Structure 1
């Protein structure tokens, strides 16, 4: 089915569920949900208000609840799990992949987690313990243990007969991993190579010995960068002794890339990338109030700087009219630089070897833009107020603030990254404080010096 038709079909399903639910046709809703893919059911739950979501979840077939939980954002998942009994959560997570099981269990409160684990059978309890033993946001947390391994000293015919006996392959399998007798990873045999070569050839003659493996402790963002750079579909994960532990597939990497993008976008506004769009009003208000409080403090700090020049503003009221121009221009220019540098850090383009070049480049851009826009604003103000001294004052302030904005926009993310603080979350607040204070001080300070 073409992608556009598939999207229309999914939208039609979602509309049918909404209409049937509003009409009280719960049997019809249950039937539609049974025919809907888990990812689309998750989308419907995330797109529904809190009360409707609770009704819908009760109508989801228990056999696919685990698949739906995998697709939900953390905030929505927690809201649903909070109303489930531990034994039902254990049943829903029974057939989950290891990485999804670990993600779900990590999101549970401690008391609920212990009850859920106690409700699991021995095999699932061991899987849960193993999944949670890896550090969050590491390659281990993304890994699945469903690998297909072969030995190097066998022929392709033996491998093919082994695969036929096995019956099926794990989703996303593009390589068979070659290991030695100690289960150490030594290479990979692509399925395409297996199918297009004579069956009497040995694996060791055709396997890719240069195939990279991923250390279990590698950060998930670095893993995503490797997948992007090498166009991988899957990759082997090994421990410090090169023992094969599992593999990471592209579907998990897509989730990492999407989550990183959402995090960078929403963090700049002080929002949680896992926040539920339909969360209760008080809960959402409480989360946003923290960020608003921080911004209020920075605004008060800028106002405190402006208070030093109250006498100047009393003498020259025109300065109050023009006072917002310089900080505003600095804020926009700094935000442009800040966004590009944060993006460069996230993509791995900016590192210690080229940081000095980036700082120099942004300093030059700030100086060039400062010169251009300071001359323009000087001419506008001088002709508007017919005061060439005032035009020169605001031009100087504009130049200094755009210069400071370029330096701050480039250096703040680098400094925060070195301090292990998320630049996307804190960078815009620090930048706004710098550009507001520099802009106000440069404009009103210079005006006090030359015009009073």
Structure 2
């Protein structure tokens, strides 16, 4: 696969920085880092082995350390923060946006978090406390308080003079939010409307009343779906009484979408989506061992089922050769269904109103695939072994397992979701257990009854 521009650029940076470090040219490295954007420096740190990363961080200008911490994955951030004094962490987080400040502080161990709070001044401590008061992975945790508000009864000329007095607008501002005297959200005034209408017109007559405000407790994945559906650049966040609390911008939503995609991908392998690629061997090994242990238990369970048919395997050794075919086909078919259903749940396409249709559809697909491939495998085995009974046995087992794979692939993620268990994390384990046990039992059980 060809490297992307970003990958190639980071590779060249890494080579240059590593060469300079090996040559002891620390001043040159410091200059290179100062000329690099914080997001690129963060990517460079994440792409560096632990020892090089430690050296690089020591050469980063303290004035931009906060900007870099915002961009780092949690595992890498924790590793870097572990090298810093609480006073330096407090200084680095001083100019962070509220949502980034909350994310960084939440990732800290409790003792370090308390020390960092103590090292902050009163204003930053209050801001941090407010940011941490919102539940993680909700609209409140994504929100920034840097809104520009106006009243509905003023003219556009007054609004323009007010903006000139402010001197600058927060990044990502596309709307001004209209509020009443109690700071309740009434609507929004797009900047395009402000700039293209007569200054004499009144805000109330031009404001967008259909702009949807996001409840502060809404899950961040639901917020991301709203942004995607409406093509928003920003959106207001309100409490239960419609008081305007802040806004969410598209850059934060991009992070949510990327994190959700990484989470789904990594969870299917039992890995943490924030795991550091260059984490120490022992740390990575411990994390992966948990998943391997779970898979070992499921494999032992399948072997336990097969042990009931030892006599049959002794009498017909060919069954041992063919025994892996049925579970393997069921596992592949079930994984296809599982992936599609998990994707549908993540995108909000699958809900309580259409679950029965999905289950019926996947049952029909399982039956159709089961019929097709059972006939095919029956013909192959009958010709290969010249045993039509054996072909019929494996055909029946194949049909039953593909049917079970379709049902399990569709129902397992829905059941796990209802139990508030991440389907991406646990779905594949449950599915593999089902297809292995059903496949072995259907094949060896039918063979025992029909051939022995």
Q: Same fold (TM over 0.5)?
A: yes
Please state how far the C-alpha of 1:15 moved relative to its aligned partner: 3.2
Which residue is equivalent to 1:345? 345
Instruction: Check whether the contact 1:20–1:26 (CA below 8 A) recurs between aligned residues.
Output: yes
Which residue is equivalent to 2:434? 434
Q: Deviations over 1:32-71 (max 9, x none)?
A: 0000000000001000011111000000000000000000
Name the SS of the counterpart of 2:247 in structure 1.
Answer: strand
Please state how far the C-alpha of 1:24 moved relative to its aligned partner: 1.4
Which residue is equivalent to 1:19? 19
Which residue is equivalent to 2:256? 256
CA distance in 1, matches of 2:113, 2:12: 37
In structure 1, stretches of 5+ residues that fail to align are: none
Which residue is equivalent to 2:80? 80
Which residue is equivalent to 2:111? 111
Q: Deviations over 1:132-174 (max 9, x none)?
A: 0000000000000000000111111111111111000000000
Which residue is equivalent to 1:62? 62
Q: Deviations over 1:61-111 (max 9, x none)?
A: 000000000000000000000111000000000000000000000000110
Which residue is equivalent to 1:397? 397
- Alpha carbons of 1:375 and 1:6: their partners in 2 closer, same or farther (altered >3 Å)? closer
Instruction: Check whether the contact 2:42–2:71 (CA below 8 A) recurs between aligned residues.
Output: yes
Instruction: Check whether the contact 2:327–2:401 (CA below 8 A) recurs between aligned residues.
Output: yes
Which residue is equivalent to 1:32? 32
Which residue is equivalent to 2:271? 271
Please state how far the C-alpha of 1:257 moved relative to its aligned partner: 0.3
Which residue is equivalent to 1:122? 122
Name the SS of the counterpart of 2:270 in structure 1.
Answer: coil
Which residue is equivalent to 1:165? 165
Name the SS of the counterpart of 1:256 in structure 2.
Answer: helix
Residue 396 (structure 2) pairs with residue 357 (structure 1) = no
Name the SS of the counterpart of 2:177 in structure 1.
Answer: strand
Instruction: Check whether the contact 1:13–1:36 (CA below 8 A) recurs between aligned residues.
Output: no
Which residue is equivalent to 1:52? 52
Q: Deviations over 1:222-258 (max 9, x none)?
A: 0000000000000000000000000000000000000
CA distance in 1, matches of 2:22, 2:307: 57
- Alpha carbons of 1:380 and 1:6: their partners in 2 closer, same or farther (altered >3 Å)? closer
Instruction: Check whether the contact 2:10–2:43 (CA below 8 A) recurs between aligned residues.
Output: no
Describe how 1:155-234 pairs up with structure 2 within 5 A. Answer: 155-234=155-234
Which residue is equivalent to 1:293? 293
How much is the aligned-residue C-alpha RMSD, in angstroms? 1.1
Which residue is equivalent to 2:375? 375
CA distance in 2, matches of 1:15, 1:121: 40
CA distance in 2, matches of 1:98, 1:10: 29
Which residue is equivalent to 2:147? 147
Name the SS of the counterpart of 1:276 in structure 2.
Answer: coil
Please state how far the C-alpha of 1:19 moved relative to its aligned partner: 1.8
Q: Deviations over 1:282-331 (max 9, x none)?
A: 00000000000000000000000000000000000000000000000000
Instruction: Check whether the contact 1:81–1:89 (CA below 8 A) recurs between aligned residues.
Output: yes
Please state how far the C-alpha of 1:11 moved relative to its aligned partner: 5.1
Instruction: Check whether the contact 2:365–2:406 (CA below 8 A) recurs between aligned residues.
Output: yes
Instruction: Check whether the contact 1:295–1:429 (CA below 8 A) recurs between aligned residues.
Output: yes
In structure 2, stretches of 5+ residues that fail to align are: none
TM-score, scaled relative to structure 1: 0.98
Q: Deviations over 1:252-284 (max 9, x none)?
A: 000000000000011000000000000000000
Q: Greater CA deviation, 98-107 or 4-13?
A: 4-13
Name the SS of the counterpart of 2:344 in structure 1.
Answer: helix
Residue 314 (structure 2) pairs with residue 310 (structure 1) = no
CA distance in 2, matches of 1:5, 1:426: 35
Q: Deviations over 1:186-212 (max 9, x none)?
A: 000000011111111111111001110
TM-score, scaled relative to structure 2: 0.98
Which residue is equivalent to 2:244? 244
CA distance in 1, matches of 2:126, 2:168: 24
CA distance in 2, matches of 1:211, 1:340: 32
Name the SS of the counterpart of 1:189 in structure 2.
Answer: strand
Please state how far the C-alpha of 1:23 moved relative to its aligned partner: 1.6
Which residue is equivalent to 1:451? 451
Name the SS of the counterpart of 2:237 in structure 1.
Answer: strand
- Alpha carbons of 1:6 and 1:408: their partners in 2 closer, same or farther (altered >3 Å)? closer
Which residue is equivalent to 1:416? 416
